[in-house]
């Protein structure tokens, strides 16, 4: 998979995808229903970033 961090006033600051390269693909992103403002959303984005990294590092495909 891959993790993307985008800076500035963007609609989604953090995105990721996970794949097993053959059958499964999972994409994740967090969008806010608000005008993008990095100063205002910075604290929230840091919390979400921690959650995304935890999900990425602990995710397992079911057999």
Mind listing the pLDDT tens digit for each residue in 10-48?
Answer: 989 999 999 999 999 999 998 888 888 888 888 988 999
pLDDT at 28: 96
Q: Does residue 36 belong to any structural domain of this protein?
A: yes
pLDDT at 47: 92
* Domain that residue 15 falls in: 2-58
CB atoms within 10 A of CB 29: 14
Sign, CA torsion 55/58/61/62: negative
For residue 36, give the nearest of 45, 28, 27 by alpha carbon: 45
Q: Does residue 37 belong to any structural domain of this protein?
A: yes
How many Cα atoms occupy the beta-carbon half-sphere of 11 within 13 Å? 3
Q: Does residue 63 belong to any structural domain of this protein?
A: no
Please give the tally of structural domains in the chain. Answer: 1
Q: Are residues 11 and 31 in contact, defined by beta-carbon separation less than 8 angstroms?
A: yes
């Amino acid at each position: 998979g891959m993790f993307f961090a985008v800076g500035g006033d963007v609609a989604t600051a953090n995105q990721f995808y996970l794949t097993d390269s053959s059958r499964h693909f999972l994409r994740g992103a967090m969008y806010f229903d608000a005008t993008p403002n990095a100063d205002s959303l910075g604290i929230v984005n840091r919390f979400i970033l921690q959650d995304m990294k935890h999900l990425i590092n602990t995710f397992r495909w079911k057999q």
